[in-house]
Structure 1
Amino acid sequence: MNAIILAVLIMVTLSLMRVSVVFALIAAAVIGGLYAGLPAGEIVTAFNDGLGGGAPVALAYATLGAFAVMLSRSGITQRLSTRIIDTFQGGAQTRSHARMVTWGLFASLILAGFASGTIIPVHIAFIPILVPPLLIVMNHLQLDRRAVACAITFSITVMYMTTPIGFGTIFLNDILMGNINEAGQALDFQIERGAPPKAMIIPALGMVLGLATAIFISYRKKRTYEDRPIDGQAENKQQPAKLKTWQLGVIIAALVVALVIQLWSGSMIFGGLAGFALLSFSGIVRWDEQDGVFTQGMRLMAMVGFIMIAAAGFAGVMKATGEIPDLVQSSVALIGDSRALAALVMLLVGLFITMGIGSSFATIPIIAAIYVPMCLSFGFSALATTALVGTAAALGDAGSPASDSTLGPTAGLDADHQHDHIWDTVVPTFLHFNIPLIAFGWIAAMTL
């Protein structure tokens, strides 16, 4: 068995057994490295070298968590939840109104996710700010949070797959097109800028089908949750103190400044710190309590940060084994001359690689150099080749325990500790997005 497959299977199995994802990643990296024949010292070195890649992301999420907790202390987001719940009074109109609020929540979260990757490229930064205050509303609606997790993951994934704006520009133009053209340069094979969005439309339709299945079929039944204190909010249920006009102005300014600084610097770390610093002068939190607020915010996003760091170390060991090309080449022997089987195998191999690395952005440079010559040898068109590489990379992003596309929704939905990362986010998104992506990615490869 290939060391990559073994390591990913161990990581997934341990995670499904409710073992800590961080421990699962470390254990899988060690076992996979040893199985590949790496000395223990090289495994440790490769793991440590990879850790640095996850540190900036972890620190960014920690600062965003602090900013989110500071905002929650203002009470402005709790007021939104309270007003929505208050509108449920009314007897006969309650059911229709609850339905309207439910679809309003889904639409708002999906639109926020669309915006976070395109016109306001803050990625998952909106989740710890927007989602936790709405949990009490979801509890009142008895809304299954697994459906909400699927909606958020869909919204932050499908846009970069299809739309060359914001993160989509990076994924489609800089990474997907750039790496395919680099791999095809020696083979006189190049794709144009308009090819990636066209090639990814059919795979994206698979995600649309998966979202519809999750919302209307799989998780349409009501699910009961307890009304528990939200991380970062006071445990008492008293109405937050009324904010002064100038304090509301500071809050709005902090949101704008956090966005502007992030866009200007390209760093979520500096954006979150700038927003936190500005809010600290609003008087929402006493000066001597701000250190505790910052620590509480870091605790809120600690799981996300540690998993991202461990995932970077895992990816470092997997690359050091040198068995990613061997995984692809060993699969070629099973394909024969079948284009249909070749497309399916490439998608499945991409799934295993991305599941371990946890990032479609980081997977493309690894697989493009191998997949492009394979696609050309089987006679796939430029669009079909682009669809295969892009879909193979995107596959694990929606269902990996170490992907920010799953860690982000969990960070928001588990703010009251009633949402399990693996069984309530990873498994639902894997079933509803990765399976349709494989099917529709295969259709794209065979028809384009």
Structure 2
Amino acid sequence: MNAVIIAVLIMLILSLVRVHVVIALAIGALAGGLIGGLGFDQTVSIFSEGLGGSATVAISYALLGAFAVAIARTGLPEVMVNGVIRLVGKKGDSKKKLLSKALIFFLLALISCFSQNIVPIHIAFIPILIPPILNLLNQLGVDRRAVATILTFGLTAPYIFLPYGFGAIFHGIVADNMEENGMTIELAQIPQAMLIPTIGLIVGLLFAVFVTYRKDRHYEDRAIIGSSEQTQSFTAWSITAAILAIVATLVVQTISESMIIAALAGLVVLIGSGVLKWKESDHVVTEGMKMMAFISFVMLTASGFAAVIRETGHVDLLVTQTASIVGESQAAAALLMLVIGLFITMGIGSSFATIPIIATLFVPLGMAAGFSPLAIIALIGTAGALGDAGAPASDSTLGPTAGLNADGQHNHIWDTCVPTFLHFNIPLFIFGWVAAMVL
């Protein structure tokens, strides 16, 4: 039995039967460590040490939650929602309702795509933008699973294809790790290799929006976690301060490449402007941390899980077993390589973190099977994207859940991970395999 496969399967099965994903990750790590021969004490030790790997990310999300709640206190979200409602018009106008849903979907896709390449802030926009428009989405009958797929698409497709922002980092990691394992490539080859897998993501997105989640879905109008029960009053100065705080956050994030510093900058602007009262700041920060606590704890636990999986050494064993199975068949090799990539990235949840592991395995295996450099790039990039697009521990799924579940009506596994897995991982798998065959 391979510890990687068993650990990931246990984690996924427990998550699907609604065991909390943090508990599922911890149990999966323990099972993987024991099967991998680490022993109970060593597994617990490695898991505990690995928790620190995502400490920075966890604190970043907690502070972003605080900043989102602080922005809500300025009245800016209310102004935004009122403006969209005026655009929507009467609820009974079915044609205008359809056009309004299309406009919202387009804007969400555009903003999430921009967050990867043009203004690389990743999921920082979600807790600010999504919670205030939930009641509006309810009025339009929008199925939040469609919104989850739109957001995850925007958080995944741009960086695997376009070499800008986070895409430049991702492409650099792919190229560097392939070179370290004996295959030198040009950065310009990566978009060419990732074109077909990206088309797979587009196909999955269109199917989700226009077929699977096309019909209306009913949600209750509930208060947003951390929001005041009273209607937020706002002034021209409070709106101006909110806009300045958001601009400051974006600029600082771009310059410092730190979500922690960016969120702090936004909070400082709001407090310094007087819009957020000093005596209220403690409560606001606490409520914001509550809103984002889920994603923070999952990321911490996922780091411990990944540390245990790597320490077992069964990732290399998985490759050896695969090589002995496929023989000289390229079709079988590509298929099993993607299966390996799926298990590794679904467990670790981050394409950036798993590319070094995948490249170490895929480059020699791909060369032995006779794949071209473009085909190996496609296999490595697709395997990385599989984790970001559908893993319970990926911030590309956790981010949308944090925003869409701000009123407690969106389940992370069944409303985000299952929809994104079905609509993105399946097309990625198929189109990635096709890319490996034709390139």
When normalised by structure 1's length, the TM-score is 0.96
Q: Per the alignment, in what secondary structure is the counterpart of residue 280 of structure 1?
A: helix
**Deviation string for 1:108-132 (max 9, x for gaps)?**
1111111111111100000000011
AA paired with 2:221?
A: D
- What is the SS of the residue equivalent to 2:276? coil
The aligned residue for residue 39 of structure 1 is: 39
Question: What's the secondary structure of 1:398's corresponding residue?
Answer: helix
Q: Displacement of 1:89 after TM fit? A: 4.6
Q: Counterpart in 1 of 2:180?
A: 182
Kept in 1: contact 2:291–2:402 (CA 8 A): yes
Q: What is residue 9 of structure 1 aligned with on the other side?
A: 9
Counterpart Cα distance in 2 of 1:361 and 1:162: 14
Q: Distance in 2 between matches of 1:114 and 1:383?
A: 25
Deviation for aligned residue 1:85: 2.9
Supply the distance in 2 between the matched residues of 1:287 and 1:372 (Cα, whole angstroms).
Answer: 55
Q: How does 1:20-169 map to 2 (within 5 A)?
A: 20-90=20-90, 94-169=93-168
SS of the residue corresponding to residue 97 of structure 1 reads helix
Work out which of the residue numbers 217, 221, 224 in structure 1 matches 2:218: 224
CA distance in 2, matches of 1:299, 1:65: 8
**What is the Cα deviation at residue 50 of structure 1?**
1.2
Q: How far is the alpha carbon of 1:397 from its aligned partner?
A: 1.2
Count, aligned residues: 439
| Paired residues of 1:128 and 1:412 also in contact (CA < 8 A) | yes
Q: Secondary structure of the equivalent of 1:222?
A: coil
Contact 2:66 2:286 (8 Å CA) reproduced = yes
Moved over 6 A (4+): none
Compute the displacement of 1:206 (Å).
0.4
**Does the CA contact (< 8 Å) of 1:163 and 1:169 recur in 2?**
yes
Which amino acid is the alignment partner of residue 148 of structure 2?
A
| 1:360 and 2:351 correspond | yes
Name the counterpart of 1:256.
247
Give the aligned residue type for 1:317: V
Q: Which amino acid aligns with 1:388?
A: L
| Structure 2: distance between partners of 1:304 and 1:90 | 36
Residues 146-170 of structure 1 deviation map (CA, whole Å, 9 limit, x = unaligned):
0100000001100000000000000
Identical aligned residues as a percent: 52
CA shift, 1:41, in A, is 2.1
Output aligned runs, 1:352-431, within 5 Å: 352-431=343-422
Question: Aligned equivalents of 2:121 and 2:336: distance in 1?
Answer: 34
Match of 2:322 in 1: 331
Partners in 2 of 1:135 and 1:284 — Cα distance? Answer: 24
Distance 1:364 1:242 in 2: 47
More off after superposition, 123-132 vs 252-261? 252-261
Asked if structure 2 preserves the Cα contact closer than 8 Å seen for 1:68 and 1:297, the reply is yes
Q: How big is the alpha-carbon RMSD for the aligned residues of Structure 1 and Structure 2?
A: 1.3
Q: CA deviation at 1:445?
A: 0.2
Asked if the contact 1:162–1:200 (Cα under 8 Å) also holds between the matched residues in 2, the reply is: yes
1:374-396 C-alpha deviation (Å, 9 max, x unpaired): 11111111101110111112112
Q: Cα–Cα, structure 1 residues 89 and 372, in superposed 2: closer, same or farther, change >3 Å?
A: closer
TM-superposed deviation, 1:242: 3.1
| 1:256-280 deviation digits (Å, cap 9, x = unpaired) | 2112222222210000011011101
Whether 1:193 and 2:180 are equivalent positions in the alignment is no
Give the secondary structure class of the aligned counterpart of 2:273: coil
1:91 Cα deviation from its structure 2 partner = 7.5
Check conservation: 1:47, 1:313, Cα contact below 8 A. Answer: yes
SS of 1:401's partner is coil
Q: Return closer, same or farther for 1:267/1:345 CA change in 2, 3 Å cut-off.
A: same
CA contact (8 A) 2:208 2:423 kept: yes
Amino acid at match of 1:424: D
Residue identity in the other structure for 2:346: M
Aligned with 2:233 (options 217, 237, 241): 241
> How far did residue 283 of structure 1 move?
3.1
Corresponding position of 1:203: 197
Once the two structures are superposed, what CA deviation does each residue of 1:335-387 show, in whole Å capped at 9, x if it has no partner? 12211010010001100000000001111101211211111111111101110
1:53 is displaced (CA, Å) by: 1.0
Cα distance change of structure 1 residues 118 and 300 upon mapping to structure 2, 3 Å threshold: same
Aligned to 2:301: 310
Q: Tell me, yes or no, if the aligned pair for 1:359 and 1:396 is still in contact at 8 Å.
A: yes
The residue that corresponds to 1:280 in the other structure is 271
Deviation for aligned residue 1:235: 2.2
SS in 1 for 2:390: coil
In structure 2, distance between residues paired with 1:334 and 1:375 = 14
Which whole-Å CA distance do the structure 2 matches of 1:329 and 1:129 have between them?
46
Q: Where in structure 2 are there 5+ consecutive unaligned residues? A: none
Which residue of structure 2 lines up, in the alignment, with residue 268 of structure 1? Answer: 259
Structure 1 residue ranges without an equivalent (≥5): none
Q: Report the residue type matching 2:179 in the other structure.
A: N
Q: Distance in 1 between matches of 2:139 and 2:242?
A: 28
Alpha-carbon displacement from aligned partner over 1:297-338 (angstroms, at most 9, x marks no partner): 011100000000000000000011010010111122221221
* DSSP 3-state at the match of 2:268: helix
Instruction: Report the counterpart of residue 209 of structure 2 in structure 1.
Output: 215
User: Which among 339, 351, 356 is matched to residue 348 of structure 1?
Assistant: 339
One-letter code aligned to 1:183:
N
In structure 1, distance between residues paired with 2:91 and 2:385: 46
Alpha-carbon distance in 2 for matches of 1:89, 1:275: 33
- Which whole-Å CA distance do the structure 1 matches of 2:346 and 2:52 have between them? 20
Rounded Cα–Cα distance in structure 1 between residues aligned with 2:211 and 2:324: 40
Q: Does structure 1 retain, via aligned residues, the 8 Å contact 2:89–2:96?
A: no
- What is the CA-CA distance between 1:45 and the residue it aligns to? 2.0
Match of 2:283 in 1: 292
Say if 2:425 is the partner of 1:434: yes
Report the secondary structure of 2:192's partner residue: helix
Distance 2:46 2:91 in 1: 62
Cα deviation, 1:60-96, whole Å, max 9, x if unaligned, reads: 001111000000111111222233335555477x111
